[in-house]
């Protein structure tokens, strides 16, 4: 058992000054069989602490449900941190930002317009109470004063960038304390006077988020935290990627120098991220600062530990810096051998339109065009259907959130993209059944658009009238119903793919070995390996490979692909190394 406190100048571990040298590692972005490996590599870098957010919506698919098993077993993750001899910092939000769908807030909660977002509103607070009741026992039982690894817990996240409701922050503190958290609580904000003022509370340690110019930023923080340790709660040693933009690289030498400056100033640090991982499935968020930009599947973040666990050049540069300030173990993480290079023929396929009876839910009829949220769909794809006439000629949509593939009698007639600010699509001059397959590409995770509805935002008009008679159903992708692949027919894999189509193939492999699927030649879609939805791929750049974590790979494997556009052939090419895409210099 230990004590961890905030002293006059320092953190105090068992009464003695202690520097927190931490790295962010989100259990929800890493396959659970790889948690131990990534934690160990973080320790070998010289870190003494692992920090993780908790993503509320990852545990709570519906109100009243809370899953703490398998990939959601936060207790096991914290136990693995302890087993490595490290401390843990937990940031349960409830808002986490993190390039995560809706910043972690459940869409089912914010679909109710009476709910106040990130403020002291009774409906929001009641739901947070339920969430904290479910998650805090896991954390409380693992606090350092009970023999566990948890030394500190964060309240909210960069709240000063969003609001100024101190009553909300205080209510979160009260709920957290009532939930049995006895270790120090803290807030984090960008290194900005106004934000640090709005985002903090008297009596709670303020920390700052920044990735460079340490002396200047620590001086700003010191104005708001006159005593106690100075901590950079997010030292941005890399950055996330968005579809359509180049891959972000933060030079290792500059990161190492900035880290040296921070440590030389005596500050504590949390590297954001020490290991980024992957936005598996449909979990990525998005930004919207005038244009909607969804986050990529890869969350490599140009972090010291790469998405597949390799120690990068940045790892070695930062380790050398850390060794000047803290004890660093001699050992290094195991080298990662190149991944197997192989071609997997997808031997069976069918048009998606011919499978909707099995891959879409039961259609619900409407007398207006509902949003996805109104129809009770919280992520992925919604199939909207209506009938059009020969004189309709054009489809005009209020707003598409976020990308619609439009089909007339099962034949693709075009795409409407929110990122491209598109609202209008010409239609062939014939009557038929119109299917609008709308993809939620990830809910905005930062700023005032958190919680906005997805799907089609009406009205939807044509050249001559408003379209009001619709049916909606969810595309069932996670999991994909087994009956879908049973219906695929053999087609030679060298034939081009005209989407939207579902394709499947099989391959033999050495179990447990990582693969990288090169998405070159493919359009846009989803990939499943042995039934697990890996995530989205897209030709829109930057990411050119999709990471297949080794624990998903068996001796005999099934690959399923949903291709929304087209592909040169139906061959999945596995390559030796990740390709994260073009970099602007
Ligand atoms: C902020 C947030 C994090 C993350 C980073 C950018 O610091 O607090 O959750 O979104 O920005 O990666």
pLDDT reported for residue 545: 98
- Residues 206-234, mean pLDDT to the nearest whole number: 98
Nearest CA to ligand 1 atom 5: 98
**Integer Cα distance of 55 and 319 in angstroms:** 29
- The rounded distance, in Å, linking the Cα atoms of 427 and 466 is 15
Q: Output the pLDDT for position 585.
A: 83
What kind and span of H or E run contains 439? strand 432-440
Q: What pLDDT sits at residue 190?
A: 98
- Please identify, by atom number, the ligand 1 atom nearest to the C-alpha of residue 158: 8
- For residues 467 and 405, the answer to whether their CB atoms sit within 8 Å is no
Indicate if the pLDDT at residue 473 is higher than 90: yes
Which residue, by CA, sits nearest to atom 3 of ligand 1?
98
In this predicted structure, the answer to whether residue 549 has a pLDDT above a threshold of 90 is yes
Residue 297 has pLDDT above 90, yes or no: yes
Q: Where are the alpha helices (DSSP H) in 412-550?
A: 482-486
Assign domain 361-475 to a CATH class.
mainly beta
Query: What would the pLDDT profile of 349-367 be if each residue is shown by its tens digit?
Result: 999 999 999 999 999 999 9
List the catalytic residue out of 51, 156, 158, 563.
158
Question: What class, spelled out in words, does domain 4-322 have in CATH?
Answer: alpha beta
Distance CA 240, CA 165 (A): 29
Measured distance CA(283)–CA(45) in Å, rounded: 28
pTM, to two decimals: 0.98
Percent of the chain residues past pLDDT 90, beyond the cut: 100
508 pLDDT exceeds 90?
yes
Based on the residue annotation, tell me whether 555 is a catalytic residue of this protein: no
Extended strands (E) in 85-176: 87-91, 150-154
pLDDT of residue 456: 98
Burial class (CB in 10 A: 0-12, 13-18, 19+), 475: buried
Every domain of the chain with CATH number 2.60.120.260 lies at 342-350+479-584, 361-475
Most ligand 1 atoms within 8 A of CB, residue of 209, 276, 450 to mutate: 209
Q: How far apart are the first and last CA of the chain?
A: 50
Confidence band of 467 (pLDDT split at 50, 70, 90): very high
Q: What is the arithmetic mean of pLDDT over 274-297?
A: 98
494 contact partners, CB below 8 Å, separation of at least 6: 569, 570, 571
Give percent of the chain above pLDDT 70. 100
Q: Which helix (H) or strand (E) holds 366?
A: strand 364-366
Cα 49 from Cα 72, distance rounded (Å): 20
Which atom, in ligand 1's list, is nearest to the CA of 239?
12
Residue range(s) of every CATH 3.20.20.80 domain in the chain:
4-322
In sequence order, the 6+-apart residues with CB closer than 8 A to the CB of 254 are 212
For residue 288, the model assigns a pLDDT of: 98
Q: Which CATH fold would you assign to the domain 342-350+479-584?
A: Jelly Rolls (2.60.120)
- Cβ < 6 Å from ligand 1: which residues? 96-99, 157-158, 209, 234, 240
Angle formed by the axes of helices 252-264 and 313-323, to 10°?
20
311, pLDDT greater than 90: yes
Distance (angstroms) between ligand 1 centre and the Cα of 158 equals: 8
**Average pLDDT of the segment spanning 36-64:** 98
| DSSP code at position 373 | T
- Average pLDDT across the chain, whole number: 98
In the reported structure, the alpha carbon of residue 521 is separated from the centroid of ligand 1 by a whole-number distance in angstroms of 33
Q: State the Cα–Cα distance between residues 291 and 72, nearest whole angstrom.
A: 32
Instruction: Report the half-sphere exposure of 461 (CA within 13 A, side-chain side).
Output: 8
Active site residue 399: no
Counting from 1 in the atom list of ligand 1, the atom nearest the Cα of 103 is 9
User: From its phi and psi, is residue 255 left (phi > 0), alpha (psi between -120 and 50) or beta?
Assistant: alpha
Residue tagged active-site, from 51, 99, 234, 563? 234
Cα of 469 vs centre of ligand 1, distance in Å, is 42
* Residue among 91, 217, 272, 275 to mutate when testing ligand 1 (max atoms within 8 A of CB): 272
> Nearest C-alpha to atom 6 of ligand 1 is from which residue?
98
């Amino acid at each position: 058992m230990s004590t961890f406190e905030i002293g006059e100048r320092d953190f105090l571990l068992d009464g003695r000054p202690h520097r927190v040298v931490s790295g962010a590692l989100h259990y929800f972005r890493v396959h659970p069989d790889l948690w131990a490996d990534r934690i160990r590599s973080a320790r070998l870098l010289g870190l003494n602490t692992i920090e993780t957010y908790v993503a509320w919506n990852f545990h709570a698919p519906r109100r009243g449900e809370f899953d703490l098993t398998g990939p959601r077993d936060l207790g096991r993750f914290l136990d693995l941190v302890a087993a490595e001899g490290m401390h843990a910092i937990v940031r349960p939000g409830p808002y986490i930002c993190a390039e995560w769908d809706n910043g972690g807030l459940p869409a089912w909660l914010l679909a109710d317009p009476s709910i106040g977002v990130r403020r002291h509103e009774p409906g929001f607070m009641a739901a947070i109470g339920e969430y904290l009741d479910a998650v805090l026992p896991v954390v409380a039982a693992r606090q350092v004063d009970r023999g566990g690894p948890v030394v500190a817990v964060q309240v909210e996240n960069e709240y000063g960038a969003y609001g100024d409701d101190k009553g909300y922050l205080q209510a979160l503190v009260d709920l957290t304390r009532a939930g049995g958290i006895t270790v120090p609580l803290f807030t984090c904000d960008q290194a900005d006077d106004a934000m640090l003022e709005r985002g903090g509370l008297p009596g709670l340690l303020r920390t700052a988020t920044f990735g460079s110019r340490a002396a200047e930023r620590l001086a700003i923080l010191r104005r708001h935290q006159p005593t106690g340790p100075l901590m950079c709660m997010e030292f941005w040693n890399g950055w996330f990627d968005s579809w359509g933009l180049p891959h972000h690289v933060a030079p290792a030498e500059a990161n190492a120098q900035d880290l040296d400056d921070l440590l030389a100033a005596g500050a504590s640090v949390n590297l954001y991220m020490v290991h980024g991982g992957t936005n598996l499935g449909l979990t990525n968020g998005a930004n919207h600062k005038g244009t909607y930009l969804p986050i990529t599947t890869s969350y490599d973040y140009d972090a010291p530990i790469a998405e597949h666990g390799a120690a990068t050049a940045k790892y070695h540069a930062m380790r050398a810096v850390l060794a000047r300030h803290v004890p660093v173990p001699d050992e290094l993480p195991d080298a990662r051998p190149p991944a197997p290079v192989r071609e997997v023929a997808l031997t069976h396929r069918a048009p998606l339109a011919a499978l909707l009876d099995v891959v879409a839910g039961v259609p619900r009829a409407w007398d207006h065009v509902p949003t996805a949220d109104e129809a009770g769909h919280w992520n992925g794809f919604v199939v909207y259907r209506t009938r059009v006439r020969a004189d309709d000629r054009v489809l005009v949509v209020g707003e598409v959130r976020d990308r619609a593939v439009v089909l007339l009698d099962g034949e693709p007639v075009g795409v409407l993209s929110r990122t491209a600010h598109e609202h209008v699509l010409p239609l062939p001059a014939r009557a038929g059944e119109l299917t609008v397959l709308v993809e939620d590409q990830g809910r905005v995770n930062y700023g005032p658009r958190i919680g906005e509805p997805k799907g089609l935002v009406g009205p939807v008009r044509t050249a001559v009238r408003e379209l009001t008679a619709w049916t909606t159903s969810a595309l069932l992708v996670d999991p994909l119903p087994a009956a879908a692949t049973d219906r695929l027919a053999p087609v030679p894999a060298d034939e081009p793919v005209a989407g939207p189509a579902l394709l499947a193939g099989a391959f033999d492999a050495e179990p447990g070995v990582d693969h990288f699927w090169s998405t070159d030649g493919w359009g846009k879609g989803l990939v499943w390996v042995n039934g697990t939805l890996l995530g989205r791929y897209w030709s829109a750049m930057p990411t050119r490979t999709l990471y297949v974590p080794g624990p998903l790979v068996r001796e005999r494997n099934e690959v399923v692909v949903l291709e929304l556009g087209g592909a040169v052939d139906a061959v999945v090419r596995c390559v030796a190394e990740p390709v994260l895409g073009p970099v602007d210099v």
